Amino acid sequence: MFSWIRDVSIKTKIIVPLVVLILIPIILISYISFNLQKQLTISLTKHDAEVTAKTALSTLNTMMLTHTIQNNSYRKTLIKIYKRIKGIKGFQVIRGNLVNEEFDKKYGPGLKEEEPNSSFDREILASPVPITKAIYNNRHAYLMVGIPFVAKTDSRGINCLACHTDAVSGDVLGGIKIIYSLKALDATQSYFIKYSIIIALISIVLIIIVLYLIIKNAIINPTIKLSKAADNISKGDFKQEIPHTRNDEIGKLAKSFSRMEISLKKAIEMLKEKQK
């Protein structure tokens, strides 16, 4: 099935497998680096979202303590401010059922945009820990981060249960959903892929050139010389000088050729003398 391989030149048989063996680690390293960079960026984005959400929560707590939280225009302004932060494409305060019931009793209906309107919003209200989800829209990647507001007796020095009397420690009162654009990550990854391919191609070309020169000088050229010498000897030319200064396999082969040449020369001379 692979009989054609026997007719391939020695340099090709050596260079191609070596290039493949070198190319595989390069591809694996690039792939691993690409994924590590992606995970690091997402992790940093998630951390930024948590910091932003905690800052927003502290602002809402202050508004609650100063009794300005019932002013819808203040909350709308707060949301607009956070939406203008670089990289943030969406910012939403989500109120849970407990907060809705208490808020409605005291201040009337809240903002419509504060109501959970997606499965991800409901996941935030059901999770005691931050959650993330990557989304793709019009070929652009976004990271959606949900930070729940969990009722605690000591949340940054504030007892949540003092105001939210219907809640118990551990209840999710609401949350913040932040959507971050991963456009910068896409650009970085495109840049990384582009230059990884360029570096890999340059490396492969250089490796091929170096391997070719080594194989040519170490194997191909000495083999061609031995082949020519053997051909001349077969034609009766015993004046061939076969250098055998090397001690490797090629050098041993050259020595064998030299001994063969001497033996043939002596045998022919003895045959000529007998014929006389």
pLDDT in tens, 92-108: 888 887 777 666 666 55
Q: Cβ-count burial of 188 within 10 angstroms (0-12 exposed, 13-18 middle, 19+ buried)?
A: middle
In a domain, 194, yes or no: no
The CATH number of residue 143's host domain is 3.30.450.20
Cα–Cα dist 244/222, whole Å: 10
User: To 5 degrees, how large is the angle CA 129–CA 53–CA 142?
Assistant: 85
**Residue 183 pLDDT exceeds 80:** no
Same domain as 99, residue 32: yes
Cα–Cα dist 244/258, whole Å: 8
Same domain as 211, residue 177: no
Per-residue pLDDT at 123 = 92
Same domain as 214, residue 172: no
Same domain as 119, residue 44: yes
Same domain as 59, residue 166: yes
Q: State the virtual CA torsion across 218, 223, 228, 233 in degrees, nearest 10.
A: 120
Same domain as 104, residue 62: yes
Cα–Cα dist 94/266, whole Å: 103
Tell me the CA end-to-end span of the chain in Å, nearest whole number.
55
Strands (E), the chain: 88-95, 131-137, 140-150, 172-181
Is the Cβ–Cβ distance between 82 and 91 less than 8 Å? yes
**Residue 5 pLDDT exceeds 70:** no
In a domain, 196, yes or no: no
Cα–Cα dist 200/156, whole Å: 51
The CATH number of residue 242's host domain is 1.10.8.500
Determine phi and psi for 143, rounding to 5 degrees.
-115, 120
For the ranges 176-190, 229-243, 255-269, which has the lowest average pLDDT?
Answer: 229-243
The two three-digit tokens of residue 265, written as one number: 């020369």
Determine phi and psi for 116, rounding to 5 degrees.
-65, 125
In a domain, 193, yes or no: no
In a domain, 245, yes or no: yes
Residue where a domain stops, chosen among 133, 148, 181: 181
Same domain as 112, residue 49: yes
Domain count, the chain: 2
Cα–Cα dist 137/143, whole Å: 11
For the sheet with 131-137, list strands across it: 88-95, 172-181, 140-150, 131-137
Same domain as 222, residue 171: no
Cα–Cα dist 207/19, whole Å: 7
What value does the mean pLDDT of the chain take? 78
In a domain, 136, yes or no: yes
Same domain as 222, residue 167: no
pLDDT digits (tens, 9 = 90+) for 143-179: 888 888 888 877 666 777 677 767 788 888 888 898 8
pLDDT digits (tens, 9 = 90+) for 194-232: 787 788 788 878 887 887 888 788 777 777 777 787 777
Same domain as 259, residue 134: no
Cα–Cα dist 34/185, whole Å: 11
User: To 5 degrees, how large is the angle CA 113–CA 181–CA 81?
Assistant: 45
Residue where a domain stops, chosen among 131, 149, 181: 181
Same domain as 228, residue 141: no
For the ranges 73-82, 123-132, 206-215, 240-249, which has the lowest average pLDDT?
Answer: 240-249
- Note down the domain range covering 267: 201-275
**Mean pLDDT computed over 130-146:** 82
Same domain as 146, residue 248: no
